[in-house]
Structure 1
Amino acid sequence: MKKLGHLGVYTSLVFLSVYLPELEIMYLTKFLGWGIDGYSIISLVWELVLVVLFVCWLKKKKMLYIFEKKGSKKSRFFYLIVGLVATYFIRQLVDAYQLQFHHLIDNKYIFQDLLSVLYSNGQPTFLSTVLSFILTVVISPILEETLDRGYFMNTFFPKSKYYLDVILSGLIFGLSHLILSHRDPISLLYYSLIGFFFALVYRSTDNLRLTILCHSFFNFLNHAKPIWIFVYNYIYYHFFR
Structure 2
Amino acid sequence: MKKLGHLGVYTSLVFLSVYLPELGIMYLTKFLGWGIDGYSIISLVGELVLVVLFVFWLKKKKMLYIFEKKGSKKSRFFYLMVGLVATYSIRQLVDAYQLQFHHLIDNKYIFQDLLSVLYSNGQPTFLSTVLSFSLTVVVAPISEELIDRGYFMNTFFPQSKYYLDVILSALIFGLGHLILTHRDPISLIIFSFAGLFYALVYRWTKNLKITILCHSFFNFLIYAKPIWIFVYNYIYYHFFR
TM-score by length of 1: 0.96
Amino acid in the other structure paired with 1:145: E
- Aligned-residue offset at 1:19: 1.1
Q: Which residue of 2 aligns with 1:21?
A: 21
Q: Distance in 1 between matches of 2:15 and 2:53?
A: 14
Count of residues in Structure 1 that have an aligned counterpart in Structure 2: 240
Amino acid in the other structure paired with 1:12: L
| Cα deviation code 1:182-234 (max 9, x no counterpart) | 11111110100000000000001000000000000000000001111111111
| Cα deviation code 1:53-91 (max 9, x no counterpart) | 000000111100001110000000000000000000000
Q: Distance in 2 between matches of 1:112 and 1:7?
A: 29
Q: Which residue of 2 aligns with 1:201?
A: 201
> What stretches of structure 1 of length at least 5 have no aligned partner?
none
Q: Which residue of 2 aligns with 1:177?
A: 177
Percent of residue pairs identical: 83
- Aligned-residue offset at 1:162: 0.6
Q: Distance in 2 between matches of 1:49 and 1:159?
A: 30
Matches for 1:112-131 after TM superposition, within 5 Å: 112-131=112-131
- Aligned-residue offset at 1:15: 2.1
Q: Distance in 2 between matches of 1:179 and 1:5?
A: 20
Q: Distance in 1 between matches of 2:229 and 2:31?
A: 37
- Classify the secondary structure of the residue corresponding to 1:180: coil
Q: Residues 118 and 102 from structure 1, CA distance in 2 versus in 1: closer, same or farther, beyond 3 angstroms?
A: same
Matches for 1:88-237 after TM superposition, within 5 Å: 88-237=88-237
- Classify the secondary structure of the residue corresponding to 2:142: helix
Q: Which residue of 2 aligns with 1:87?
A: 87
Amino acid in the other structure paired with 1:69: K
Q: Distance in 2 between matches of 1:131 and 1:113?
A: 22
- Aligned-residue offset at 1:9: 5.2
> What stretches of structure 2 of length at least 5 have no aligned partner?
none
Contact 2:11-2:172 at 8 Å conserved across structures: no
Q: Following TM superposition, where does structure 1 have runs of at least 4 consecutive aligned residues deviating by more than 3 angstroms?
A: 1-11
